[in-house]
Structure 1
Amino acid sequence: MTKILFVCLGNICRSPLAEGIAKYYISKNNLDIIVDSAGTSSFHIGENPCPHSVQIAQNKGIDISQLTARQVKQKDFSEFDLIIGLDKSNITNLKIMGCKNVKLLGDFGLDGEDIPDPYFFDGFDGFEKVFDMIEVGVINIINSTK
């Protein structure tokens, strides 16, 4: 069984969206894959995803409202088959922490692009764009594990 961990900075915007999209796609296609998400920072441990992330997911029929932010741990590096960073900054932080099996979400159908942090966008439009980018990458990752 494949285990995938999605990682962004605070685990309240991008990585919970990736986790929610992945769980939705996995369930819809009856696949045997486990997914989780975490952040490289400790800024938001214990918090639910930000309201805009919850709203954009809900608009697409995905409920991420009950997810809880956590910080990535050393044991994650051995427990997960794939660690997916949402941008190059998080990839760098994960490598500094000792992660060797990390890949960039943008390398899965997004021409190596970083997934921008919508937390710093003004308004809701950025969350739409980020959701669409994450969805492409997540589906490509899952399809590559079949």
Structure 2
Amino acid sequence: MRDLVGRARLADRIVIDSAGTGDWHIGQPPDERAQRIAKKRGYDLSSLRGRQVGAEDFARFDLFIVMDDANVAALASVCPPEHRDKIRLLMEFATLDDSRVVVDPYFGGDEGFERVLDQCEDACAGLLKALRAQLMA
């Protein structure tokens, strides 16, 4: 998404952050397989480090884009009621893939990470289109 927003010259208007719903990867870089597959497509994930969503994030951000229903449930359980409408599934924005959620690649091989990247590239393009329409309104 950062790459798309940067190429669209909207980085000054769209703030992107990444955080998890749990605390098990705080401070750690992305999975080596994810980094390797992303690098093949021109994305450098090496500077990213895991952090957990904090209470202040709900007021700070306009959208929480999540990968699956477990993430929706985890965020909804800690999200103040007035911000719950900010939680959306990434695949809602997909145009080429009709999957409801992003597949979990962690217990498979590289092909699972390729699939995740395919899904994310598709859905992020749709998300950018939706955000651009909001910015122009």
User: 1:35: Cα distance to partner?
Assistant: 0.5
Q: Which runs of 4+ in 1 moved over 3 A?
A: none
Partner of 1:104: 89
5+ long unaligned stretches in structure 2:
133-137
- Is 2:5 the partner of 1:26? yes
User: Aligned ranges for residues 80-95 of structure 1 at < 5 Å?
Assistant: 80-95=61-76
Q: Which has the higher contact order (CA 8 A, sep 6+)?
A: 1
Q: Given the two structures, how large is their TM-score scaled by the length of structure 2?
A: 0.86
* Contact 1:104-1:112 at 8 Å conserved across structures: no
Cα distance in 2 between the residues matched to 1:120 and 1:75? 32
Partner of 1:17: none
Q: Given the two structures, how large is their TM-score scaled by the length of structure 1?
A: 0.81
Cα distance in 1 between the residues matched to 2:17 and 2:107? 23
What secondary structure, in the 3-state scheme, does the structure 2 residue paired with 1:35 have? Answer: coil
* Contact 2:103-2:115 at 8 Å conserved across structures: no
Cα distance in 1 between the residues matched to 2:14 and 2:43? 17
CA deviation map 1:34-82 (0-9, x unaligned): 1111110100100001111111111111101110000011111111111
Partner of 2:116: 130
- Is 2:58 the partner of 1:77? yes
Amino acid at match of 1:129: R
Over the residues paired in the alignment, what is the CA RMSD in angstroms?
Answer: 1.2
Percent identity over the alignment is 35
